[in-house]
Structures are given as C-alpha cells and as structure tokens.
C-alpha cells in the first residue's frame, strides 16, 4: 500500500494527561507502518458535554502511514487500552482518547469508522491545534481556519 496522510486527535484528562499523550506519540512514532508523525503543541481545553470533569490536554497529529483506516483505528484503540481507558460515560473523563479525524480525505459512513470524523468540523479542540501545524489544511473541502471561526469552543483552546 502507498503511504497516505491521516489526521489524529489525542485527548486526556485523567491521571497524568501530559504523560499519556507523550506515550501515545512515542508509540505512534515507533509503529513500523507509521512513517512520519507531526505533532501539534499541547492545548488545554474545556471539556465538551454535560459531565463535570477536569480540563483536557489535546493534541492533533498529522501522520503518513501504510496502515488502512481500520488498522489505524484499531491501533488507536490499542493505545487507549494500554492507557486503561474505560468507556463508561459518553463525553466523560478519559485517560486517553484517540480519534481518526481524516484519512486520505476519504469519505465513508461505516458503523465502526465515519470519515471524516462526524463532529471534527465543530470542535475547536481538534481544529485549533491542527491549524498550528498546518494552517492551510482543509476538512471535507473547507479550510480549517473557516471551521475554527464557527467552532463554539475555539476560544477555550489554550496553547501550552
């Protein structure tokens, strides 16, 4: 398979979020089918949803990989499991969250994986860090800089 570009979003707000994100980036860089990893600076963000919880640390990554989208998602879930993530409450606190935001600009609506990520276009905690490393990026044909202006949480994203 030819290498493709993918965008991942990482987030954590339990235990030691900075360490959890750093370990995930190291694991991604160490995967033999992930050829390059460009990581945004960390961002402190306000949690989304109704659950009272600590602020998140978020990071957006641009990678090149020969993994399929499904394999990349599975590896992300493996990283979450290594970090002892529990999926108990929707939009609840977590030790690590790994989302595939974009994969080679593909569109798909599978039960396991929707591309691009169905809520990425409205999430400042994904878009703002992404803009720090690729300000000319587009998501589903729209410049992320335009999407950031419409994202209600964009003002809650603070670069560390």
> Is the distance from CB of 127 to CB of 154 less than 8 angstroms?
yes
DSSP assignment letter at 15? S
- Which of 44, 94, 119, 155 is labelled catalytic? 94
DSSP string, 18-46: HHHHHHHHHHHHH-TTEEEEEEPPPEEEP
Tell me how crowded residue 97 is: count the other CB atoms within 10 A of its CB: 21
Residue 94 annotated as catalytic: yes
Catalytic residue among 44, 55, 99, 134: 99
Could you tell me if 106 and 73 are in contact, meaning their C-beta atoms sit under 8 angstroms apart?
A: no
**CA distance linking residue 130 with residue 137, whole number of Å:** 8
Helix ranges (DSSP H) in the chain: 17-30, 69-82, 124-133, 144-150
Residues 82, 97, 123, 155: which is the catalytic one?
97
The answer to whether 85 is a known catalytic residue is yes
Task: State the catalytic residue, choosing from 85, 102, 123, 153.
Answer: 85
Instruction: Give the active site residues.
Output: 85, 94, 97, 99
């Amino acid at each position: 398979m030819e290498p493709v570009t993918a965008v991942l979003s990482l987030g954590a707000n339990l235990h030691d979020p900075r360490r959890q994100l750093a370990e995930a980036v190291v694991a991604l860089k160490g995967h033999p089918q992930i050829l390059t990893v460009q990581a945004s600076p960390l961002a402190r963000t306000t949690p989304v949803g109704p659950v009272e919880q600590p602020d998140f640390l978020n990071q957006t990554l641009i990678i090149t990989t020969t993994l399929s989208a499904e394999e990349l998602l599975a590896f992300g879930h493996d990283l979450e499991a290594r970090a002892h993530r529990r999926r108990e409450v929707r939009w609840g606190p977590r030790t690590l969250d790994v989302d595939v935001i974009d994969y080679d600009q593909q569109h798909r609506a599978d039960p396991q994986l929707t591309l691009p990520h169905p809520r990425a276009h409205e999430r400042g905690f994904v878009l703002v860090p992404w803009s720090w490393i690729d300000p000319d990026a587009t998501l589903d044909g729209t410049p992320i800089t335009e999407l950031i202006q419409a994202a209600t949480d964009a003002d809650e994203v603070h670069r560390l």
